[in-house]
Amino acid sequence: MIVFKPLAARAAPIQSTGLIGWMRLNLFSNIINSVVTLLIAGLLLMTLPDLIDWLFIKATYTGESQDVCNPDGACWVFVNAWSKQFFYGSYPLESLWRINLSLFVLFVVVAGSNFLPKNLRYPITVPALLFMPFIGLALIDGRLFGLEYVATDYWGGFSLNVLLAAASIIVSFPLSFLWVLGRQSNMPFIKTVCVILIEFFRGVPVLALFFMGSVMLPLFFAQGINIDKLIRVWIVLVLFMSGYMAEVFRGGFQAVPAGQYEAADSLGLSYWHKTLLILLPQVIKVAMPNILATFVMLFKNTTFLLIIGIFEMLATVQTALSNSNWLGGHATEGYLFVGFIFWICCFSMSMMSSSIEKKLNKSNV
């Protein structure tokens, strides 16, 4: 007779839900993982409390001068006192609305290019975008609109970083587009010139280009003609950006299916119709994540202007550090603050870029 012999009960499976299960799965799945987890956790425990203590708990926030600061903590008084300089430079207080308006218009135009209905999008945003830098420049300068004139020496701070980066990338759009068309054309001389231009501005350190703008460019103009330093730097930034953007666009052109070219040709469209109406919209759409990434690079690179003495945000921090009333060594606070502001901007732009990329990938599938 067969006797029913139950198998010995198995142990319950390892808990895989709840906090403990999650930790087991994600932190302590094997010996190496456990060791690494403990190491990282130990490192965090060693550094974080001191850091928080210095950054927030022992820090001094408000006050008039550096004398009120606690030497064991961060002196945010420094950042507080100089915050207007950090954001707007020496721009006259009563005219700050002009900078704010320019930034706002920039924001609206950029946002508009995403939210306007499709049929209005190009006719409105493209001209707006292309004229925006010049209008913004004129507004901040003031003379053209009959406002009080503010020389470029008073511009500065973070708003200068933003506006300079935006004005450069926008102006570089048409220029780089021409360069990349030249590079793809079958006219040998034009092709060579464009390849040289693109490779030159991509291959040279931006710092060397800035030096060219500040020291060499003045020698290139006829005697008696001065071009404002900021404008010179702007020219240099536009050319630099065009080199990078041309490569981005080239990638975009390669991503457009060959059928699009052939269809446009067989419809008998002219070269410019084909390029501007059929290819350009697709190229921009495909290249958008890369355009954003290039912009982030440019935006970060505007801090290099410090080295040629333009009062962008980082340079303003250094000026503040050399003021005889603030000689207490607040470099760390200043740099942390600048780093934080840039991080917020760049991080949100990278987020935007990757979300666009995801959307693109979905629509392609």
Q: Count interface residues toward other proteins (CB under 8 A).
A: 93
- Beta carbon nearer to other proteins, 76 or 311: 311
- Beta carbon nearer to other proteins, 8 or 31: 31
Phi and psi (nearest 5°) for 256? -75, 130
Residue 162 tokens, joined: 């933003």
Touching other proteins, residues 1-30 (CB under 8 A): 22, 25-27, 29
33 binds other proteins (CB under 8 A): yes
339 binds other proteins (CB under 8 A): yes
Using the rule CB under 8 A, give the single segment among 5-13, 169-177, 280-288, 312-320 that binds other proteins. Answer: 312-320
Residue 271 CA to residue 269 CA, distance in Å, equals 7
Residue 309 CA to residue 71 CA, distance in Å, equals 30
Touching other proteins, residues 274-303 (CB under 8 A): 296, 300-301, 303
Q: Give the bridge partners for 75, in sequence order.
A: 60
Minimum CB distance to other proteins, residue 361 (Å): 10
Minimum CB distance to other proteins, residue 331 (Å): 6
Please identify which residue in 60, 125, 176, 214 interacts with other proteins, judged by CB under 8 A: 214
Secondary structure of 286-345 in HEC code, one letter for each residue:
HHHHHHHHHHHHHHHHHHHHHHHCCCEHHHHHHHHHCCHHHCCCCHHHHHHHHHHHHHHH
Give every CB contact of residue 352 below 8 A, 6+ residues apart in sequence. 292
- Beta carbon nearer to other proteins, 281 or 350: 350
Using the rule CB under 8 A, give the single segment among 13-21, 113-121, 201-209, 277-285 that binds other proteins. Answer: 201-209
Residue 251 CA to residue 75 CA, distance in Å, equals 47
Contact between residue 160 and residue 312 where contact means Cβ atoms under 8 Å apart: yes
Touching other proteins, residues 67-126 (CB under 8 A): 71, 81-82, 84-85, 89-91
Touching other proteins, residues 136-165 (CB under 8 A): 137-138, 141, 143-144, 151, 153-154
Using the rule CB under 8 A, give the single segment among 99-107, 172-180, 220-228, 253-261 that binds other proteins. Answer: 220-228
Locus of tokens 């142990």: 11
Contact between residue 247 and residue 177 where contact means Cβ atoms under 8 Å apart: no
306 binds other proteins (CB under 8 A): yes
307 binds other proteins (CB under 8 A): yes
Using the rule CB under 8 A, give the single segment among 1-9, 50-58, 170-178, 222-230 that binds other proteins. Answer: 222-230
At residue 71, the 3 state secondary structure works out as coil
Minimum CB distance to other proteins, residue 318 (Å): 6
- Beta carbon nearer to other proteins, 115 or 251: 251
Give every CB contact of residue 14 below 8 A, 6+ residues apart in sequence. 21, 24
Minimum CB distance to other proteins, residue 342 (Å): 5
Minimum CB distance to other proteins, residue 103 (Å): 19
Q: Which among 174, 307, 168 is positioned nearest to 231, based on CA atoms?
A: 168
